[in-house]
């Protein structure tokens, strides 16, 4: 079984499939919440949810397998 490792240099290496699925799911969820909040005139919270989803996706790229 491969070990999952987190480091800054891991951005250019392939992300493990399980972590990529979780990050994509979080991005879809945050985007959906953001659209809902923008629709009901809660622009500040909507932008926060969207930025959180993008940050989760960016951080997920730092994981690699050894």
Count: domains in the chain:
1
**Cβ density class 27-52: b for 16+ within 10 Å, e for less:** beebeebbeebeeeeeeeebeebbeb
Work out the number of other CB atoms within 10 angstroms of the CB of residue 64. 20
pLDDT digit string, tens, across residues 18-62: 999 999 999 999 999 999 999 999 999 999 999 999 999 999 999
Single pTM value for the model: 0.84
Q: Which domain holds residue 41?
A: 4-65
């Amino acid at each position: 079984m491969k070990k999952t490792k987190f480091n800054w240099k891991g951005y250019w290496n392939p992300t493990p499939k399980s972590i990529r699925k979780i990050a994509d799911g979080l991005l879809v969820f945050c985007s959906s919440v953001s659209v809902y909040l923008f629709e009901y005139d809660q622009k500040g919270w909507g932008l926060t949810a969207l930025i959180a989803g993008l940050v989760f996706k960016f951080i997920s790229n730092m994981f690699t397998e050894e």
